[in-house]
Amino acid sequence: MKKQISDITMGNPKKMLKPIATTMIANLVNMFPFSFMTIIVINIYEYHAKAKTNLNTTILWLLWLGMLVAILLVYWCESKSYRSIYRSAYETSAEGRGMLAEHIRRLPLGYLMSKDVSELGNMMMSDFHQIEDAATNFLPQVVSGVMIPSLAFIGLLFVDWRLSVAMFAGFPFSILIILAVRGLEGKFGKTHSKARLAQANCLQEYLFGIKVIKAYNLGGKNFKTLQQAFSRFMKESIKLEGGLGPFFLVAIAFLQTGLSLITICGVYLLLDGELTVPVFALFLLAGTHIFDPLVVSIMRLPGFKYNAMAGNRIVNLLNQPIMQGQKESPTKHNIKFKNVKFAYDKNIVLDDVSVEMKEGTLTAVVGPSGSGKSTLLKLIARFYDPQVGTVTFGEVNQQEINPESLMKKISMVFQDVYLFQDTIKNNIRYGRENASQDEIELAAKQACCHDFIMKLPKGYDTMVGEGGSTLSGGEKQRISIARAILKDSPVILLDEATSSLDPENELDMQKAINRLIEGRTVIMIAHRLKTVVNADNIIVMERGKILEQGKHIELLSNKKLYKRLWDLQEKTSGWNIVQ
- Domain-terminating residue out of 285, 318, 351: 318
Question: With bands split at pLDDT 50, 70 and 90, how would you rate the model's confidence at 336?
Answer: very high
**pLDDT reported for residue 209:** 73
DSSP-derived pairing of the beta strands 362-366 and 388-393: unpaired
Task: Please choose, from the candidates 96, 123, 97, the residue with its C-alpha nearest in 3D space to the C-alpha of residue 310.
Answer: 123
- Phi-psi category of residue 85: left, alpha or beta, with phi > 0 → left and psi -120 to 50 → alpha: alpha
pLDDT tens for 448-465 read: 888 888 888 888 888 887
> Do 311 and 353 share a domain, yes or no?
no
> Do 54 and 169 share a domain, yes or no?
yes
Task: Please choose, from the candidates 416, 156, 455, the residue with its C-alpha nearest in 3D space to the C-alpha of residue 284.
Answer: 156
> Do 310 and 347 share a domain, yes or no?
no
- Is 433 a domain residue? yes
- Is 499 a domain residue? yes
**pLDDT reported for residue 337:** 92
- Is 130 a domain residue? yes
d(CA 97, CA 128): 7
pLDDT, average across residues 356-375: 88
- Is 432 a domain residue? yes
Number of Cβ atoms within 10 Å of the Cβ of 223: 12
| DSSP codes of every residue in 2-66 | HHHHHHHTTT-GGGGHHHHHHHHHHHHHTTHHHHHHHHHHHHHHHHHHTT-SS--HHHHHHHHHH
Q: Which has more pLDDT, 437 or 280? A: 437
Kindly report the CATH number assigned to the domain that includes residue 364: 3.40.50.300
- Is 327 a domain residue? no
d(CA 403, CA 291): 56
Number of Cβ atoms within 10 Å of the Cβ of 8: 31
- Domain-terminating residue out of 318, 345, 374: 318
Residues 6+ apart with CB under 8 A from 10: 92, 96, 99, 131, 311, 314, 315, 318
pLDDT tens for 225-248 read: 778 888 888 888 887 777 777 887
Question: With bands split at pLDDT 50, 70 and 90, how would you rate the model's confidence at 338?
Answer: very high
Q: Which amino acid is at 70?
A: A
pLDDT tens for 524-566 read: 888 888 878 888 899 999 888 989 899 988 888 888 888 888 8
d(CA 327, CA 396): 9
Question: With bands split at pLDDT 50, 70 and 90, how would you rate the model's confidence at 507?
Answer: low
- Whether the Cβ atoms of residue 356 and residue 335 lie closer than 8 Å to each other: yes
**pLDDT reported for residue 262:** 83
Kindly report the CATH number assigned to the domain that includes residue 287: 1.20.1560.10
> Do 263 and 386 share a domain, yes or no?
no
Task: Please choose, from the candidates 412, 395, 379, the residue with its C-alpha nearest in 3D space to the C-alpha of residue 387.
Answer: 379
d(CA 402, CA 73): 56
> Do 404 and 280 share a domain, yes or no?
no
Number of Cβ atoms within 10 Å of the Cβ of 455: 8
> Do 527 and 428 share a domain, yes or no?
yes
Longest dimension (CA), the chain: 127
**pLDDT reported for residue 25:** 78
- Whether residue 515 has pLDDT greater than 70: no
- Is 460 a domain residue? yes
d(CA 88, CA 7): 15
d(CA 377, CA 311): 36
d(CA 421, CA 548): 43
- Whether residue 85 has pLDDT greater than 80: no
Range of the domain at 409: 335-572
Residues 6+ apart with CB under 8 A from 427: 419, 420, 464, 479, 483
> Do 292 and 356 share a domain, yes or no?
no
Whole-number percent of the chain with pLDDT over 90: 2
d(CA 125, CA 193): 14
- Is 153 a domain residue? yes
d(CA 133, CA 310): 11
> Do 431 and 314 share a domain, yes or no?
no
- Is 577 a domain residue? no
- Whether the Cβ atoms of residue 278 and residue 27 lie closer than 8 Å to each other: no
- Whether the Cβ atoms of residue 381 and residue 407 lie closer than 8 Å to each other: yes
> Do 164 and 239 share a domain, yes or no?
yes
Task: Please choose, from the candidates 298, 31, 275, 23, the residue with its C-alpha nearest in 3D space to the C-alpha of residue 170.
Answer: 298
DSSP state letter for 517 = H
Please report, in angstroms and rounded to a whole number, the separation of the first and last CA atoms in the chain.
Answer: 74
Q: What is the pTM assigned to this prediction?
A: 0.67
> Do 398 and 310 share a domain, yes or no?
no
Question: With bands split at pLDDT 50, 70 and 90, how would you rate the model's confidence at 30?
Answer: confident
Whole-number percent of the chain with pLDDT over 70: 87
Residues 6+ apart with CB under 8 A from 190: 309
Q: Which has more pLDDT, 552 or 25? A: 552
d(CA 525, CA 404): 24
Total domains in the fold of the chain: 2
Q: Helix, strand or coil for residue 510?
A: helix
Q: Helix, strand or coil for residue 151?
A: helix
- Whether residue 575 has pLDDT greater than 60: no
> Do 234 and 362 share a domain, yes or no?
no
pLDDT tens for 475-496 read: 788 888 888 888 888 888 888 7
Average confidence score pLDDT of the chain: 79
pLDDT, average across residues 278-298: 75
> Do 75 and 184 share a domain, yes or no?
yes
The alpha carbons of the chain give a radius of gyration, in whole angstroms, of 36
DSSP state letter for 346 = T
DSSP state letter for 378 = H
- Domain-terminating residue out of 292, 318, 344: 318
pLDDT tens for 92-127 read: 778 888 888 888 888 877 777 767 766 777 777 777
Strand partners, 448: none
Number of Cβ atoms within 10 Å of the Cβ of 36: 20
**pLDDT reported for residue 504:** 62
